[in-house]
Homo-oligomer: A and B are copies of this chain.
Amino acid sequence: MEKTWATSSAAGLDLHLDRAGTRVRADLERALREAVGTGRLAAGSRLPSSRALAADLGIARNTVAEAYAQLVAEGWLTARQGSGTRVRERPSGGGQAPGGRASSAGAGLPARAGAAPAADRAPQVDSRFDLRAGVPDLAAFPRPQWLAAARKATAAAPHRLLGYGDPRGCAELRDALAGYLARSRDVRTSPEQVIVCAGFTHALTALTQILIGDGSTAVAVEGYGHAEHRAVIERAGLTAEPLPLDERGARVDALTGSPARGVLLTPAHQFPTGVPLAADRRSAVVRWAAETGATVIEDDYDGEFRYDRQPLGALQALGPDTVVYAGTASKSLAPGLRLGWLAVPNRLLERLLAVPALADQRVDVLHQLTLAEFLTSGRYDRQVRSRRIAYRRRRDVLVAMLHREAPAVTVSGISAGLHALVRLPPGVDERTVVQAAGRVGVAVDGLATFAAGATGVAGGAGSSGAAGRAGDLGAALVVGYARPSDHAFTAAIARLCAVLRRALGSG
């Protein structure tokens, strides 16, 4: 269809309209908004009469009158008896033309902002050789099975579940999770105490508010751990107090006399050092919490992945009244699902649900029902089992290749999880190795990156001072062996081994 463009430059108004379009009035309104928003029509200036503009554009007068009325209602124009239609006087602040950045108003298309402040925070790395810890093999996410569960859940969900729901999550999922957690992690809980959340960070954000309410000014954290978790704690105005780490996990004896009324632990498999919390310390930290009224946050991020023996049961079972258990689908399925869960002591339940972050449910109910279906059908357990086999094999390959290619390094920590701590021999600088790996496309983090007090998050390196406070564990790499896809995995490890061989040869 041929377009018929109409142009009016009455009163400096330079309008381009497609008269053959079906939305003449909408187009006129858009053009007028743009002219006002960009300042082409100055504040206070008078618009042509609707009769004049209509004649000029060759459209119905009524269309112009309606467009003017619409823009008056929206606050762009004013219409006063006797003084005609004028551009409304603009807010004085700012100096910028109100009504939109000039670049954003064209043709109804949103402009790209000049700067993209938050985009692509993570450095670009070659995903085939990405050995940073914390992310599973995303290619192994069982899409067809997940979709089948979603189909079943979406078809079966009663209408009422599509409304605003229980802040803890829907009963179907809380039932399934309570059963799963009892069965697989020996968690002592009930569906009433389970809260569905959008990943561990969401939960931790809420839990900081409970600790503040308990009068805590600090949260004890493991000397090495996720910088993001410490950042959540610090954004809440709390101090993240590092506990020293040794080969038996966090030195919980350091809690005695601490102002912290909370401690964040990874008892099954310390992240990133890979050791479980020793039995006497498990018992001691629960005792400390019971005696001081404190709360233990158990981040059971990969508790389902143990290869050498049966996993340790959750710490929570030793103290269901003091330990908040936190689990996640981020490692077993995928982080992008944003699915996590808490098992909460009864004494904290009401308070936690009054915290803004958990006061309303944040997770799509169809998503919740899909996970519930995955759990009750046994599909979740099968996924965990199959990933366990795959990651165990990868860990064996890593250990074997390191043993052959770089025998001076040692893999410490238990045979579990999705990452390994690879200790470098004395005299080898961890940062040098990380940088050498980067030069051949391999992304891997040094242990210092995770030290409390370290500033760098990805690829950075902590100060020796920070490492000292966290318990000096020497130089090491934290190798996430789950992340590359199957076809890239061996090549990624081979590259890492080649880097280590060179570094140790010259070290």
Q: Which residues of A contact B (CB under 8 A)?
A: 25-26, 29-30, 33, 37, 70, 72-76, 78, 88-94, 96, 98-101, 104-105, 108-113, 115-121, 127, 134-135, 138-139, 141, 143, 146-147, 150-151, 154-155, 159-168, 178-179, 181-183, 186, 188-193, 198-199, 201-202, 205, 208, 228, 231-232, 235-236, 276, 279-283, 286-293, 309-310, 312-313, 315, 317-322, 334-339, 346, 349-350, 353-357, 359-367, 485
Contacts and interface: CB of A to CB of B under 8 A. Distances in A.
Q: Can you tell how many copies of this chain the complex includes?
A: 2
Contacts of A350: 117-118
Nearest to A118: B353
Given A74-B313, A110-B189, A338 B356 contact: no
A151 B159 contact: no
A98 B318 contact: yes
A336 B357 contact: no
Contacts of A26: 310
A364 B338 contact: yes
B291 A232 contact: no
A289 B91 CA distance: 9
B74 A104 contact: no
Given A113-B193, A146-B154, A201-B356, 8 more contacts: A92-B290, A96-B321, A100-B188, A112-B191, A135-B164, A138-B159, A208-B356, A336-B365
Contacts of A120: 166
A201 B359 contact: yes
A143 B135 contact: no
Contacts of A289: 91
Contact of A30 (B160, B186, B231, B349): B186
A291 B91 contact: yes
Contact of A75 (B179, B315, B337): B315
B141 A162 contact: yes
B99 A317 contact: yes
16 contacts: A33-B313, A37-B317, A75-B283, A78-B280, A91-B286, A99-B188, A99-B318, A100-B188, A105-B188, A110-B182, A118-B168, A138-B162, A147-B154, A150-B150, A163-B336, A367-B367
A154 to B, nearest CB: 5
B165 A360 contact: no
A290 B98 contact: yes
Given A313-B74, A318-B99, A119 B166 contact: yes
B118 A319 contact: no
A450 B498 CA distance: 68
Contacts of A179: 109-110
Nearest to A281: B75
Contacts of A101: 188, 320-321
B312 A73 contact: yes
B111 A319 contact: no
Interface centre among A135, A159, A276, A309 (most CB of B within 10 A): A159
A357 B201 CA distance: 9
A86 to B, nearest CB: 12
A370 B187 CA distance: 34
Given A91-B287, A356-B232, A113 B75 contact: no
B362 A338 contact: yes
Contact of A363 (B118, B198, B232, B310): B198
A45 to B, nearest CB: 16
Interface centre among A151, A182, A199, A309 (most CB of B within 10 A): A182
B143 A290 contact: no
Nearest to A333: B162
Given A98-B318, A138-B162, A188-B104, A336 B366 contact: yes
Contact of A190 (B104, B205, B318): B104
A72 B113 contact: no
Query: Top 5 A-B pairs ranked by shortest CB distance?
Result: A93-B290, A75-B282, A91-B287, A91-B290, A336-B365
A120 to B, nearest CB: 8
A320 B78 CA distance: 20
A380 to B, nearest CB: 16
B70 A117 contact: no
Contact of A364 (B75, B111, B143, B339): B339
A249 to B, nearest CB: 11
A312 B90 CA distance: 19
Contacts of A336: 161-165, 364-366
A138 B151 contact: no
Given A235-B359, A283-B88, A33 B74 contact: no
Given A346-B113, A362-B362, A100 B163 contact: no
A34 to B, nearest CB: 10
A143 B75 CA distance: 39
